[in-house]
Amino acid sequence: MRIKQFVVYVALLILGGSVGVWGSRYWMETPQQEASQTPPVVPTTLKPFPFPAKSSPKTNLNFIAQAAQKVGPAVVRIDATRQVSEQMGETFEHPFFRRFFGNDLPIPREHVERGTGSGFILTSDGQLLTNAHVVDGTKEVKVTLKDGQVYQGTVLGTDPMTDVAVVKINATDLPTVDIGSADQLNPGEWAIAIGNPLGLDNTVTVGIISALGRSSSEVGVPDKRVRFIQTDAAINPGNSGGPLLNAQGQVIGINTAIRADAQGLGFAIPIETAQRVANQLLTTGKAAHPYLGIHMITLNPELRKELNEDQQLGFKVTANKGVLVVRVVNDSPAEKAGFKPGDIILKVGGKSVSKAVEVQEQVELSTIGETLPVEVVRKGKPKTLKVLPASFPTN
């Protein structure tokens, strides 16, 4: 019996691992079972693995996928380059160094900065909307469509105060977006962003409308004149200039990555603001913003107490709420209309206001050179001032 076992062991080594299971099983069997054991039959023909049949293309896409398919072809990538010159330090501007170095003063070095942003097609003949900061400092940009076609784009106009810009490419029969309304939005509605974040073309992100009417000062960009839409849809560098959509796939805003530290927060320029500015840029090449020339703050009881403790203010605040005029700019439309520090603004253009941002919003909607009635309270008495807004000074 030992000789027989040894022969079987040698046979197993010769046959290799393919019979390893059989060999292991053999050593567990009794001698009485040995004679009756026969190796299993290995089929000579192998059947293919039964993969499930391919399904037909999906027709029940959710609203996000439908919006992305609808708008995606009209979302473009914008690559801009600009020449940047490094200025000499103030030290080398000193007359002593100029006399010492003469013509050997260090030459300002120039280098090229490249940036990538997004945009979307408004008209089939190639008018695009994007952010002003995407194309800042250049007149020519490269525009790449979703299908890979590349065009040379011309910057027709930019408006830094609203961060809106218009670009034109020479093309026909282009896909376009549908325009919706930001005025009808409510917090909690769906929000879909499409753009090229971090250079990743036609990326779709989704969230909700988190808030409406965020003032420029609240967002941290006081130099802008925008009431921003806030969303938690991811908006990163490269998304700037792309569309923010509602659940129907209509454009309700222009995404703008204006806060690098905004974790989980995104902001968009309402489409009504963008359209109004774009129309001005297309017709005149620039956007004009009405200007009164006042510094104002929104009152509350704590602020009133603090102001009345300031001996240099020059007047006493008698109200706990409202919009207080703190300063009137010299030779401004407001000064010419008779505004005084201490005035409390109640209405602008016939519309009641209770916050400084609401005053700014109504002034922005007014027309330069046309009379704008402003109702104020001065020393407890109502007064209507008629002001002619001027164009915001550029310097």
Which residues are the active-site residues?
A: 133, 163, 240
> Reduced to 3 states, what is the DSSP secondary structure of residue 375?
strand
**Largest CA-CA distance found in the chain, in angstroms, rounded:** 123
User: What CA–CA distance (Å, rounded) separates 196 from 274?
Assistant: 20
Are the beta carbons of 337 and 325 closer than 8 angstroms?
A: no
User: What CA–CA distance (Å, rounded) separates 130 from 117?
Assistant: 8
User: What CA–CA distance (Å, rounded) separates 335 from 374?
Assistant: 13
Are the beta carbons of 368 and 383 closer than 8 angstroms?
A: no
Burial track 305-339 (b if 16+ CB lie within 10 A, e otherwise): eebeeeeeeebebeeeebbbbbebeeebbbbebeb
Are the beta carbons of 287 and 275 closer than 8 angstroms?
A: no
User: What CA–CA distance (Å, rounded) separates 247 from 154?
Assistant: 32
Ramachandran category for residue 3: left, alpha or beta (phi over 0 → left; psi -120 to 50 → alpha): alpha
> Reduced to 3 states, what is the DSSP secondary structure of residue 276?
helix
| DSSP type of residue 179 | B
Which has the closest alpha carbon to 78: 203, 210, 242? Answer: 242
Q: HEC states along 307-363?
A: HHCCCCCCCCCCCCCEEEEEEECCCCHHHHHCCCCCCEEEEECCEECCCHHHHHHHH
Which has the closest alpha carbon to 375: 328, 330, 322, 300? Answer: 322
